[in-house]
Homo-oligomer: A and B are copies of this chain.
Amino acid sequence: MQAELVMIGTELLLGEVVDTNASFLGRGLAQCGVNLYRKSTVGDNWLRIIEVISQALGRSDIVIISGGMGPTDDDLTREAVAAAANCPLEENPQVVQELESWFRFRYGSRVEIPLNNRKQALFPKGAQIIPNKRGTAPGFILEVNAKVVIGLPGVPAELEAMFNETVIPYLQGRNGSHKLVTRNLNFVGIGESHLEELVYDVVANQTNPTVALYASQGQVRIRLTAKADSLEAGQALIDPVEEQIAQRTVDFMYGLDEETLEEVVGRQLSEQGSTVALAESCTGGLIGHRLTNVPGSSDYLMRGYVVYSNQAKMDCIGVKEATLRQFGAVSAETAQEMSEGVRRVSGTDYGLAVTGIAGPGGGTPEKPVGLVYISLAMDGNTKTEKHQFVGTREQIKLRASQAALRMLWLASRRQ
C-alpha cells in the first residue's frame, strides 16, 4: 500500500512556516507500515491544487492532504478533492450541528454560524467525517475507485490528534500483512563521521534491516528499517543489529526513537531517587526548559538558577568574587564553584552548571565564542569538562545543553 502526501498552503512555499506536519505524517505512516514515496507542496491556487491531487490519485493508493480545510476563501481542499475525484459536495448535517454548538458555546446562544464557517460542513459525497476535537475544521476520509483520499486541517495540534485517533486505526484496518518496521538509535557526544567509523562494517553488511546514519539538531541517529510480515518479525530482525551497534557505542547511545535525552536522564534520576539543581549561565534556562518538558520532572528537578550576571553567580550560588576576578566567569574554576555551590544551596544530589560564550559577541583570542565549561558536582566528586563548540548562538546553546545532559546521563545510569 503506497501513500503520497499533498501539503497545501502558500505559507509553506514562502517558507514562513516549517512543515512539521509532513514529518509527523511521515513517521506515522512508517509506523503503520505504509510506504510513502512522494510528498508535494502547492500554494492556495485552485488549478494547481486540483492538478496535484489528480496526479497523486493517479499513482498512489492513499493520498493524504493537509491544509486548506479552514473557513476562508483560500481554503480550497474540499472543493478540489470533489473536483479531482469527480464527486459532488454535500452538506453534512452532523457537522452543521457541531459547528452550531461550538459557536453558541463560544459566542452565546443566539449566534448563527458565519457563512464562511458553514462551508466547513461541505464534504465530498460519501466521505466519512473525521471529528476535530480541538477546532472547527473536521477532516474526511473518501474512498473512491479503490483509492483513498484523506483530508486533514493544517493546524498541527488538530492534525496530529485526528491522525492518531482516526486515521491510524483506519489505515491499520486496511493494510495487508506487509510491514515496514523502523527503529532509530539516538546518540549524543559523538559526530556523524566518528560514529560511522565505529559501525562501518555493520552499515556495509546489512540489507534487512537497512542501516542509515543521519545528523540533526545537535545529535546523530542511526535508522534501522526492516521489511517483514509482521511487527514482531521486523523487530526480531532489528534486535541483533541494534545490540551489535549498542555494544560499540555504550557511552554515546542513549535511547531509541522519539526518546529524548532529557527523558532518559529523568527516568534514571527517578529510578535512583536522585535530585538535581541547575546553574545555567550561557544556556540561559534551556537545560531547565528541556528537563521540564518531561512530565513528572518536578520529582527530580528541584530548582535552577539562571545566573547571567556575575552578581547573580555570587549572590545565588556562592561563587567567590576572587575566582571570578582571577579566572573569569568562563573558566573551569568558576564552573566548578557553580556546580558545587548550586548543589550546596539546593541540597540536591547533583549540581549541574554551565558557563560559556554563546556569541556572536564577547569572544577573545584566549576565550573564543563557543568556549563552554560544564561541571557536575555529586557526593565527594566534581567533574568539569571544557568544550569548544561551533555554530550560531542558538546552536552553541543547544550543543552545550546536550553536553551537560550527557554528563548527567553518564553519571546517573546504572553501572
Interface, chain A (partner B; CB < 8 A): 5, 9-20, 22-30, 36-43, 45, 48, 52, 72, 74, 134, 155, 157, 182, 184, 196, 212-216, 221, 223, 278, 280, 282-289, 291-293, 295-298, 301-309, 311-312, 315-316, 345-346, 358-361, 390-395, 397
Closest B residue to A161 by CB, please name it: B392
Q: What residues on B are CB-neighbors of A41 within 8 Å? A: 5, 22, 38-41
With beta carbons under 8 angstroms apart, the residue of B27, B45, B287, B308 that contacts A302 is B308
Closest B residue to A309 by CB, please name it: B302
Do A22 and B16 touch (CB < 8 A)? no
**Docked complex Cα distance between A286 and B15 (Å):** 25
Do A292 and B397 touch (CB < 8 A)? yes
Do B36 and A26 touch (CB < 8 A)? no
Do A23 and B27 touch (CB < 8 A)? no
**Docked complex Cα distance between A392 and B52 (Å):** 33
- If over half of A's interface residues share one DSSP class (helix, strand or loop), that class is named, otherwise mixed; here it is mixed
Do B14 and A39 touch (CB < 8 A)? no
Do A288 and B284 touch (CB < 8 A)? yes
Q: What residues on B are CB-neighbors of A24 within 8 Å? A: 15
Q: What residues on B are CB-neighbors of A311 within 8 Å? A: 302-303
A182 to chain B, nearest CB (A): 7
- Beyond the given A74-B212, A284-B285, A292-B358, please list 13 additional residue pairs across the A-B interface where CB-CB is below 8 A: A22-B41, A36-B43, A37-B45, A38-B40, A278-B306, A282-B292, A285-B306, A286-B288, A292-B397, A302-B308, A304-B305, A304-B306, A305-B316
Q: What residues on B are CB-neighbors of A196 within 8 Å? A: 72
**Docked complex Cα distance between A250 and B302 (Å):** 39
Provided the pairs A13-B36, A303-B305, A346-B312 are in contact, do residues A293 and B393 lie with their beta carbons within 8 angstroms?
yes
A325 to chain B, nearest CB (A): 18
Q: What residues on B are CB-neighbors of A155 within 8 Å? A: 215
A27 to chain B, nearest CB (A): 4
Question: Which of A18, A24, A280, A358: most chain B Cβ within 10 A?
Answer: A18
Q: What residues on B are CB-neighbors of A18 within 8 Å? A: 18-20, 23
A64 to chain B, nearest CB (A): 12
**Docked complex Cα distance between A56 and B209 (Å):** 32
Question: Which of A184, A196, A212, A395: most chain B Cβ within 10 A?
Answer: A212
> Can you list 8 residue pairs at the A/B interface with Cβ under 8 Å?
A5-B41, A11-B216, A12-B26, A13-B36, A15-B24, A19-B19, A134-B390, A292-B358
Do A30 and B48 touch (CB < 8 A)? no
Do A37 and B42 touch (CB < 8 A)? yes
Closest B residue to A197 by CB, please name it: B114
A42 to chain B, nearest CB (A): 6
Do B309 and A16 touch (CB < 8 A)? no
A369 to chain B, nearest CB (A): 11
Do A308 and B312 touch (CB < 8 A)? no
With beta carbons under 8 angstroms apart, the residue of B17, B212, B315, B390 that contacts A214 is B17
